[in-house]
Structure 1
Amino acid sequence: MSAQELTFAEVARIRNLAPSTEWAIKAVNAFSKASTAEQTEVRIAKPATARELLEELISRQPAGRGGGAGSAATGVITTVIQGGPDTSMEYIRRVLVKPYPLGVTTNNVGGGGVPMSAPAAAAAAAVKAATAVKAAACSGLLAEPLDAKLPVLGALVQGALLGDSRLGEYVTVETGDGLAAWAHKLRLTTTAALSGMHLFISDKLGGSKTMTTVKMALLVDATLSLALENLGLYTSMDRAAADESYGAAEQQLRPDFLLWVGNALLFKGEEHASDMQSAIAGLWAKMATPWIPALLPDASMPCMFAYAAAGNSVKFFAITSSGGGGSVRMTTISEHLDIGTPFGRIQVVHHILKILQVLVAYAPHVPSILMPLGGVRKEVGPLGNVLRSVTLFPEFVRKSVDLSQQDGSTMDYQGLADMYRALGGVRCPNLVRLHCRGGSSGGGSGGGIHLQPDGKTVVLYLEPVGLPLQRAPPSEADLRRAVRDVLAGVAALHAAGFVHRDIKWQNVIRLPAAAAFTTAASQQPADTYVLIDLEHAAPADFPLDCGQPPPYQLPTWPAAHLLDPATGRYTRQSDLCMLAAALMSYLPFSLSDSGCDLRQRLVTRQLLSAEAALQHEWLLQE
């Protein structure tokens, strides 16, 4: 690859990765001299990894500015990057991505001149915003122009501009003296899209899915990353990159591209090698709602934007809710776009910015969502190793745990598998269970648990899916229901011969009445609480003295005396004592005398079992 070709193809992405102008120039020069394999590795890597790879390439270059092919590009790059203070963010924010006019305010949104309370106004505004997003998506949104044309470097795309007059509808080389004149990053990004950066990717990728992904990433990810950089939105973006820890079945359930705004999945993409119909089918099948409807039954569902890509063909869609139960309707909102042409590529950039306008306008109305659908949350150790990760799917949670790094564990993988197998026949609605998945081993007849090839990381597929808690419910009635449900889960666990050892609010989830009913966890129109996180569980007759320091004592144990005073063992009554200390203390309200009596009886070991505790008068009240 020549340095001039590199300027067309790669400088926008490298500049976005650069901590400084000097680094950007060094990176461009080093990249231009790298092998085809090394260049491809940088192109398909995520930003953090790509920067590390470029650092390695820079370190291998001779000292000094040097010459040769790389330095030939320096003049062009320096002119673009050092031309003045970059105004791309201001130009994008004030001109290109002004919020789409959804017509939503929180003042008197109820109409009729009747003032609304702040919570009611906010709720009504959210409903109106969700409805407006659906209307905008289906009313020719992408056919509307941006408030200004996209600036490009005319000298680098002159041939394309002369070859297709339609490009003049979207781009301009006339930047004037305003913000566009100094929008260097934006001009580089749009110029790279227009000039066809993907044409320089190794032919070895051919007509593969990877090739489609690389081409779309250089259009979609580059545009969004630049636009979102300073918009002040809580957003995250991810790709379902090949990961050996994920099985084929899981990869078939998670979209290839995902963008969340405030933890709502509002834009996704599906990328296939050549079959457009299979890509469209993937949009239907993979996470077709912004969140799990049953977990937010009162929230109005906005539309989700999506694209399907196959080879050089791209098409955009709007996915809207259709009735209850999470059913959806998908509407085509663009023509087939050919990203093998400059016009098709710049249309993709334009459409992404139009969609972003709507997302910016809707962002203030996104409901509170604790865990993003399709999102991966990781707990990373001091050396960068992943200790545990959680991914939310519509019907289950995928959890991976490095058992070798877990404090206080008493069971290895086989012990955990045996425990879940024993619990498989219980089906207690208040206790976490394996989600039956064919092909997995160790979880009984339905699978749901397996050990990674590293021999230390266990992967679990768990249900039900609920809302994580961090603290006690706000009222005594809700606390009573939660304690009753958790005790029912503890009773089932104890009956199977195990103790939990880590009961706390963070290990309890709440299923709203709608979710509880659909999962058969309850036949009553009330929330259901479920005890989760069994990785620290142990056999009830675990013989070791846990009164000694770790590894068997958990650092999260409350100050209350949990262990058997005679043997130092953690027993079934220890679970009851922990439940009282962790769930019935430090409440945001004064507990009634009856509730205090139950708490005292649990802490002082006067109740011998969870079944006995469930018969206490406080829990029998409605």
Structure 2
Amino acid sequence: MGGEPEPWWDRLIALPLSDGERGKAFVHIMSNDNMKALLANENATSETCVSAVRELLRLAAAAAQPSASPQVDASPDICWALVGPELAAPPLLPELHQFMTTPPVAKIPTTRSAMQLIRNHPIAAHFTVADGRLAEIVGHSICLTHTVGSPSEVDTVILEHTTVVQVIQTLDNALASGHRIGLQVERDKGDDTSLMTLVSPSGRSLRPDGVMRTLDGLRMLAKWEDKGPNHAIHDAVADLQAKTAAWTPLYYGNAQYLPCFAAAGSILQFYAIPRDLAHQPVPITPCVSMMNPEHRAELAMYCVKFYQLLKAQKEAYPAHVLPAAKDLVAVTGAAPEQVTRTLHFRTDRVVVQKRIQPWSLYARWTGTEVGELAAVYQATASAQGLVHAVAGPQVDDDKYTVVLQPVGLPHTAATPRDEEGLRRAAHALLHALAAIHAAGFVHRDLRWPNVAAAYDKTRWFLLDLEMCVRVDRACQPARRPPSWTTGTLVGNSYVAASDLYQLGRMLQDHRQHVSSAEGLQFMSLLASPAQELHDRAVTAQSLLAHAWLQCPGVHCAEVGAQPGETGG
């Protein structure tokens, strides 16, 4: 920030707090992103902010004091007893309601003050006074005094975070490292702060309000939606469905459903979104009020069971999935001249949205033109073996955007492991190059990172057409790609044979898999420099007739990215 005050600083200073409160709050808020976001939110009232700050200070003070004569030490062993035994598999959808509403096998640790609040309710039998971070957080949740006073979602988010998200996170953190998921919690901070704007035609955000992922930040284990008090719970549920309208094993593996929850005002309910075509969220708990201490205790029980469910879901995911509803960002160059590329795997439909910014700098580096990119995407729309544009490309405010399908596994998750796999990859990429070259373009960026595979890992296709230019003006770009060698160019130009030479270099990375006479002859042919391939009139189309590829010709449908294929 260059030493300039962040937006929440001024808001904290303006709040009607004592100097002592303000000073202590400053220290705690510095490491609390949720409080920063609340104070920076112009829709949050002064009363809401003061209440939240004082709750934060109360919790911090409680954490600094030793518990009075605890009966149980809320150690990792106690937390493990809560979520154990581990489920062999996630419960079937019809069994989820019973699973979620059956109390945990062990008592949930909480504080003495929380037990006092619920002591006359039967639910108290499932809690015990204890020490430790989980007991403090559960106690804070049950004793929460925050109310819904704003028509915005701010109060709902505070209640939800305190009674659900924070409890689940604390349970995860309290477990021994070998037993925890390592949950990563992400919230939608609004498209104005994102590198990628994702809205429906009506202007509604297509990003989930919140997501829980595995430690690597890739697998989506759960999601949620929030609405303010002027909405009913079914409005939040409708958002869950709309933002999960697309289902693909590339996102969720063989999972039968996606656990989630929805909140509106002070009401919250847990759901599961099934993988069937309707994707209608199914309630798996009763609705509960986050304003009622007994209901908040009930929520704590649901959180324990929900965490058990997430652990089972995690084990059901395959080793490689795409990060649904997440931005993948890559930056090239150094300030002030750097280009940011962003990919977002959408969940309202099975597509990936791509952005490059600033486009003017990227275009200067590469020599590409958006009009030519639109032309090559249009010319190859009915071709197989390469990604297709379903919207765009277009440039607005110096930002290039294109929506693409199909989606596929990155090459790191589907590297050819034998000669048959390498043959299939070469076959697919030659179909892609044949289509690009027939349209009068060259790709110029043939590398394994620009190759994807279908979920079955037997069909490949080419990505990243954003380096394509017309072959008659394919001179060297301002920034020469590091993958080019002395054998890449023909004279000073990048021609169709240059793509074939670069493809040959890619295939050489896996030459050890090739043992057949046809395969070795094919590899030897593509090892020739581009100038030699050009002089011998070797083309992508002629290579498709090579015996090693076994291409059936015009009726071929053996490669990835068939027209209309989504990857779903």
TM range (shorter): 0.7 to 0.9
Paired amino acid for 1:552: R
Paired amino acid for 2:226: E
Aligned equivalent of 1:53 = none
Q: 1:296 to 1:90 in 2, by over 3 A?
A: closer
Match of 2:209 among 218, 242, 256: 256
Matched, 1:502 2:481: no
Match of 1:460 among 389, 393, 402: 402
Deviation, 1:44, is 5.7
Q: 1:571 to 1:214 in 2, by over 3 A?
A: farther
The 1-side partners of 2:225 and 2:264 are apart by 9
Q: 1:488 to 1:378 in 2, by over 3 A?
A: same
The 1-side partners of 2:389 and 2:210 are apart by 28
The 1-side partners of 2:402 and 2:458 are apart by 25
Deviation, 1:314, is 1.1
Aligned equivalent of 2:351 = 396
Aligned equivalent of 2:64 = 78
The 2-side partners of 1:354 and 1:422 are apart by 51
The 2-side partners of 1:73 and 1:589 are apart by 60
> 3-state SS of the aligned residue for 1:618?
coil
> 3-state SS of the aligned residue for 1:360?
helix
Deviation, 1:580, is 0.8
The 2-side partners of 1:257 and 1:72 are apart by 26
Aligned equivalent of 1:97 = 83
Match of 1:609 among 515, 529, 539: 539
Alignment of 1:41-120 (within 5 A): 43=35, 45=37, 76-80=62-66, 90-91=76-77, 93-100=79-86, 102=87, 104=88
Paired amino acid for 1:468: P
The 2-side partners of 1:396 and 1:27 are apart by 52
Matched, 1:226 2:190: no
Q: Deviations over 1:243-270 (max 9, x none)?
A: 2232322964432222234744332212
Q: 1:396 to 1:494 in 2, by over 3 A?
A: same
Deviation, 1:511, is 2.1
Aligned equivalent of 1:247 = 198
Gapped runs of 5+ residues in structure 2? 1-18, 42-54, 553-568
Deviation, 1:207, is 2.1
The 1-side partners of 2:292 and 2:425 are apart by 59
Matched, 1:563 2:489: yes
Bigger mean CA offset, 385-394 vs 308-317 = 385-394
Matched, 1:269 2:241: no
Q: 1:239 to 1:581 in 2, by over 3 A?
A: same
Aligned equivalent of 1:479 = 422
User: Normalising to structure 1: TM-score of the pair?
Assistant: 0.69
What percentage of aligned pairs have identical amino acids?
22
Q: Report if the CA contact (8 A) 2:104-2:304 is conserved.
A: no
The 2-side partners of 1:507 and 1:408 are apart by 21
Paired amino acid for 1:502: D
Deviation, 1:338, is 0.7
The 1-side partners of 2:519 and 2:308 are apart by 52
Aligned equivalent of 1:620 = 550
The 2-side partners of 1:211 and 1:71 are apart by 18
Deviation, 1:392, is 1.3
Paired amino acid for 1:611: Q
Alignment of 1:116-127 (within 5 A): none
Deviation, 1:602, is 3.0
Deviation, 1:82, is 13
Matched, 1:301 2:255: yes
Q: Report if the CA contact (8 A) 2:156-2:264 is conserved.
A: yes
Q: Report if the CA contact (8 A) 1:30-1:70 is conserved.
A: no
Aligned equivalent of 1:188 = 136
Q: Report if the CA contact (8 A) 1:491-1:610 is conserved.
A: yes
The 1-side partners of 2:319 and 2:110 are apart by 37
User: Normalising to structure 2: TM-score of the pair?
Assistant: 0.75
Q: 1:374 to 1:28 in 2, by over 3 A?
A: farther
Q: 1:225 to 1:607 in 2, by over 3 A?
A: farther
Matched, 1:424 2:363: no
Paired amino acid for 1:257: G
Aligned equivalent of 1:312 = 266
Deviation, 1:575, is 0.6
Q: Report if the CA contact (8 A) 1:288-1:319 is conserved.
A: no
Q: 1:543 to 1:386 in 2, by over 3 A?
A: closer
The 1-side partners of 2:445 and 2:343 are apart by 18
The 1-side partners of 2:170 and 2:159 are apart by 17
Gapped runs of 5+ residues in structure 1? 1-25, 51-68, 105-128, 176-180, 437-442, 514-525
Q: 1:401 to 1:610 in 2, by over 3 A?
A: same
Q: 1:140 to 1:254 in 2, by over 3 A?
A: same
Matched, 1:539 2:482: no
> 3-state SS of the aligned residue for 1:220?
helix
Q: Report if the CA contact (8 A) 1:44-1:214 is conserved.
A: no
Paired amino acid for 2:134: L
Aligned equivalent of 2:48 = none
Aligned equivalent of 1:590 = 514
The 2-side partners of 1:386 and 1:370 are apart by 26
Q: Deviations over 1:200-254 (max 9, x none)?
A: x8x5xx1213432332123332122222224442543322221223232296443
The 1-side partners of 2:239 and 2:59 are apart by 41
Q: Report if the CA contact (8 A) 2:454-2:460 is conserved.
A: yes
Paired amino acid for 1:95: A
Matched, 1:216 2:179: no
Aligned equivalent of 1:292 = 248
Paired amino acid for 2:522: L
Paired amino acid for 1:96: L
Aligned equivalent of 1:332 = 283
Deviation, 1:433, is 2.0
> 3-state SS of the aligned residue for 2:208?
coil
The 2-side partners of 1:83 and 1:380 are apart by 54
> 3-state SS of the aligned residue for 1:617?
coil
Q: Report if the CA contact (8 A) 1:407-1:554 is conserved.
A: no
Matched, 1:151 2:110: yes
> 3-state SS of the aligned residue for 2:222?
strand
> 3-state SS of the aligned residue for 2:464?
coil
Deviation, 1:189, is 1.2
> 3-state SS of the aligned residue for 1:187?
helix
Deviation, 1:340, is 1.6
The 2-side partners of 1:232 and 1:619 are apart by 47
Q: What do you get for the CA RMSD once the two structures are aligned?
A: 4.0
Q: Report if the CA contact (8 A) 1:408-1:554 is conserved.
A: no
Q: Report if the CA contact (8 A) 2:344-2:352 is conserved.
A: yes
Deviation, 1:554, is 0.9
Q: Report if the CA contact (8 A) 1:391-1:397 is conserved.
A: yes
Q: Report if the CA contact (8 A) 2:376-2:436 is conserved.
A: no
Q: 1:265 to 1:213 in 2, by over 3 A?
A: same
Aligned equivalent of 2:557 = none
The 2-side partners of 1:260 and 1:387 are apart by 24
Paired amino acid for 1:619: L
Deviation, 1:610, is 1.6
Bigger mean CA offset, 277-286 vs 261-270 = 261-270
